[in-house]
Amino acid sequence: MKKIAILGSTGSIGTQTLEVVAANPDRFSVEVLTANHNVELLIQQALKFHPDSVVIVDEEKYPRLRDALQKENVKVYAGADALAQIVSFATVDLVVTALVGYSGLLPTVNAIRAGKDIALANKETLVVAGELINELVTRHRVAILPVDSEHSAIFQCLVGENRSRVEKLILTASGGPFRGKDRAFLEHVTPADALKHPNWHMGAKVTIDSASMMNKGFEVIEAKWLFGMRPEQIEVVVHPQSIVHSMVQFTDGCVKAQLGVPDMRLPIQYALTFPERISADFGRLDFHCCHALTFEQPDAQTFRNLSLAYEAMRQGGNMPCVLNAANEVAVAAFLQGRLSFTAMSDLIERTMQRVDFLKTPTLEDYIETDRLARKVASEIN
């Protein structure tokens, strides 16, 4: 029985993780559930899964959570500090980090320091502080198991392979709702337009990142740290069908790919059960219906966020942290109607130019960089 903490249990990844847990009650028990604001869903989850502890980050929601669970044998906490610390509980075996954005960094750091394996769905943790995270993983001898469909695909392709024989990683991108559109079109899109992803159901922030290609840029940086690749060894191709989730090319020219229906429960279950592969009743890929699998080069001139991510990765240091902070400010402004879709890239680029570069940042440097980058980005906007 594997005891799991799910950080961000009310979000898209969190709720699908609980679906996998519910389907395998003999394998998993839920020790910790956390949410940012969605106290009503957190209450429902706690009543169903009976965790040892729950955390609501929004402290104003604490009384509602406490009162709803007062007859249950569940410990109730509130606040960002509680979220960061609860991952160190001795009863937890695996921490699923399904938080959105920078908020996942400190809880992940604390979980690693406490010797917990990580099922990583929060790509921003490695984007912001990949070098630091890898140092901690080595020092505390824990495993990071990727949950993103692309990184799970690469991880599966590498099982049993000599990583020194990897020539390049090929990350696939759906292209989002605006594939093939030009800059003139993008200047007039609305948040409602950008939230209509053709293949995947995700939270608002991740969906906007997918539409702008920043999500793919983040995944490129994440792949660098997860698999020890150089920037020039990571390629992005647009694959609208979202059937090939990613590929690995080896030094002999062979390419391995992982295919499947676009269902996030597949990589979630693989991360939870690795090194086993267990049965599931998820949908199957029907090749009689796959009449075409197409691939094309991404338009990095129109979707400039992808180029900005590569630039930040090549610079290294604290620059990916700046990239992430500026993007979070930009996405929030776009969703609120204060910034156009194309202006998000301009805001991010200008922030990267204005924040001082640090080659070897500490955890404290990352925290200060995030604060400063958000301040600069907000002033620009």
What tokens appear for 238 in the block?
């647009």
- Does residue 307 register a pLDDT over 80? yes
* Percentage, residues of the chain above pLDDT 90: 85
pLDDT digits (tens, 9 = 90+) for 349-377: 999 999 999 999 999 999 999 999 999 99
* Percentage, residues of the chain above pLDDT 70: 98
Report if residue 180 sits inside a domain.
yes
State mean pLDDT over 145-167.
Answer: 96
Confidence band for 202, pLDDT divided at 50, 70 and 90: low
Give how many domains the chain has, as a whole number: 2
Confidence band for 200, pLDDT divided at 50, 70 and 90: low
- Does residue 162 register a pLDDT over 90? yes
Report if residue 42 sits inside a domain.
yes
Report if residue 372 sits inside a domain.
no
- Single out the residue of 72, 70, 28 nearest to residue 50, CA to CA: 72
Confidence band for 55, pLDDT divided at 50, 70 and 90: very high
Rounded distance between C-alpha atoms, residue 67 and residue 283, angstroms? 40
Confidence band for 320, pLDDT divided at 50, 70 and 90: very high
Rounded distance between C-alpha atoms, residue 165 and residue 381, angstroms? 46
- Does residue 16 register a pLDDT over 60? yes
- Does residue 22 register a pLDDT over 60? yes
Lowest mean pLDDT among 121-125, 311-315, 366-370: 121-125
pLDDT digits (tens, 9 = 90+) for 263-298: 999 999 999 999 999 999 998 999 888 778 999 999
pLDDT digits (tens, 9 = 90+) for 212-221: 999 999 999 9
Same domain membership, residue 308 and residue 161: yes
By the 10 Å C-beta count (0-12 exposed, 13-18 middle, 19+ buried), 179 is classed as middle
What single letter denotes the amino acid at residue 94?
L
Report if residue 39 sits inside a domain.
yes
Number of CB atoms found within 10 A of residue 368's CB: 15
- Single out the residue of 353, 2, 331, 47 nearest to residue 145, CA to CA: 2
Buried b (16+ CB within 10 A) or exposed e, 72-93: eebebbbeeebbbbbbbbeebe
Backbone angles phi, psi at 145, to 5 degrees: -110, 115
Same domain membership, residue 304 and residue 221: yes
Same domain membership, residue 226 and residue 118: no
Report if residue 369 sits inside a domain.
no
Res 199: pLDDT: 58
The answer to whether 146 and 226 are in contact (CB under 8 A) is yes
Q: Under DSSP, is residue 230 helix (H, G, I), strand (E, B) or coil?
A: coil
Same domain membership, residue 91 and residue 162: no
State mean pLDDT over 290-309.
Answer: 93
Res 89: pLDDT: 80
- Single out the residue of 123, 283, 108 nearest to residue 203, CA to CA: 123
Same domain membership, residue 121 and residue 53: yes
Report if residue 375 sits inside a domain.
no
Q: Which residues contact 34 (CB under 8 A, 6 or more apart)?
A: 5, 6, 7, 8, 9, 42, 54, 55, 56, 57, 83, 86
pLDDT digits (tens, 9 = 90+) for 73-118: 999 999 999 998 898 887 899 999 999 888 889 999 999 999 999 9
Report if residue 234 sits inside a domain.
yes
Provide the residue range defining the domain that includes 179: 157-261+288-315
Rounded distance between C-alpha atoms, residue 166 and residue 6, angstroms? 33
- Does residue 197 register a pLDDT over 80? no
Res 205: pLDDT: 85
Beta bridge partners, 117, equal 94
Lowest mean pLDDT among 148-152, 191-195, 338-342: 191-195
Rounded distance between C-alpha atoms, residue 63 and residue 61, angstroms? 6
Same domain membership, residue 162 and residue 309: yes
Confidence band for 231, pLDDT divided at 50, 70 and 90: very high
State mean pLDDT over 324-339.
Answer: 95
Report if residue 72 sits inside a domain.
yes
Res 201: pLDDT: 61
Which CATH number fits the domain that encloses residue 137?
3.40.50.720
Same domain membership, residue 181 and residue 140: no
Confidence band for 381, pLDDT divided at 50, 70 and 90: confident
Same domain membership, residue 75 and residue 17: yes
- Does residue 203 register a pLDDT over 80? no
